[in-house]
Amino acid sequence: MAMELLFENHTQLDEDVIQHIIKKNYKRPEKAKQYHVMTLLVGILAALAAVYFGRLGILTHQMLTLLCTIALIAVCIYSFYSYYQNMPKNQIKARQNTYSESLLIPRKMKVYKNVMYQSAGKSHGEYRLFQFTGIETWSHYFLLRYENSYVVMDKNGFTKGTAEEFEQFMTARIQKNC
């Protein structure tokens, strides 16, 4: 049984939408700061617990190993996010430039009942529709939130279906999945 093609779209992104997407993708999450503090506190508390139980003389070898492991994991997580937050601007700029170049390639999307296929040059992608978590409109584009990035579709690029029908379809799918 062949799948029925519901929507087809051809998208060529403008420079303004590329910059908008880059700003959205490289914006530091607000919860990262809270995560820093909590991770650091867990590491400190695990280290203090090891010292406290050691002084009481009730610290077993297994408990010491567990507390040290928790402290080490917390410090590693803190270090990773700290590096990400303080990544040199030239590295971020290099990532943005690479990302920007890939977004300039014209893309073609085909949307079926449960899946979307995207081809851009020699690369191809497959997206399960139940994994989309949001739909936004910006300028004359749809920004479909997928995991930690966006799939962008030109509202004027539909060759099968209309932008209004697509927006209703995706909104219903996203609401159904939440």
Q: State the pTM of this model.
A: 0.57
Please report, rounded to a whole number, the percentage of residues in the chain having pLDDT higher than 90.
Answer: 21
Q: What is the pLDDT of residue 98?
A: 57
pLDDT for 61-95, tens place per residue? 777 777 777 777 777 777 776 666 655 555 555 55
What confidence score (pLDDT) does residue 175 get?
82
pLDDT of residue 59: 65
Spatial CA neighbour of 127 closest among 174, 178, 176, 175: 174
Instruction: With a cut of 60, say whether residue 28 has pLDDT above it.
Output: no
What single letter denotes the amino acid at residue 119? S
Do 7 and 163 touch, CB atoms closer than 8 A? no
Is residue 32 pLDDT above 90, yes or no? no
> What does DSSP assign to residue 61?
H
pLDDT band at 121 (very low <50, low <70, confident <90, very high): confident
